[in-house]
Amino acid sequence: MSKTSVTNQTGSMLCLWVEPWGTDHWMRPGEEFADVIGTEPEESQFNVVVHDQGITVWVNSASSPDEPDVFDKCGNRAPCGHQRPGDAG
């Protein structure tokens, strides 16, 4: 199992996108999420991109067609659209 963590250390909501699946997971200030994919660490590679619209985590693994699970710091699943603001489109 491969995992990478992302923390929102800004003072506002921040979107975490997980690609190539295009899922969005919204983080409140101070929240930490973990992206977990069911492949061995040597089989999976994560690229993290910070941009003006949030953070994108790219999962580069041809052997994992299933989207990764995203969890909060307490281990609760954060599904696609988690905490999405009403004005986020």
Residue 14: its pLDDT value, please?
A: 96
Q: Which residue, chain included where needed, has tokens 């599904």?
A: 79
Report d(CA 53, CA 15) in Å as an integer: 7
pLDDT digits over 5-53, tens only? 999 999 999 999 999 899 999 999 999 999 888 766 666 678 899 998 8
pLDDT at 68 over 90: no
- Domain residues of the chain, as ranges? 2-72
pTM of the model: 0.83
Report d(CA 42, CA 45) in Å as an integer: 8
Residue 60: its pLDDT value, please?
A: 80
Residue 67: its pLDDT value, please?
A: 72
More confident residue, 78 or 2: 78
Q: Which token pair is 49?
A: 């991109």
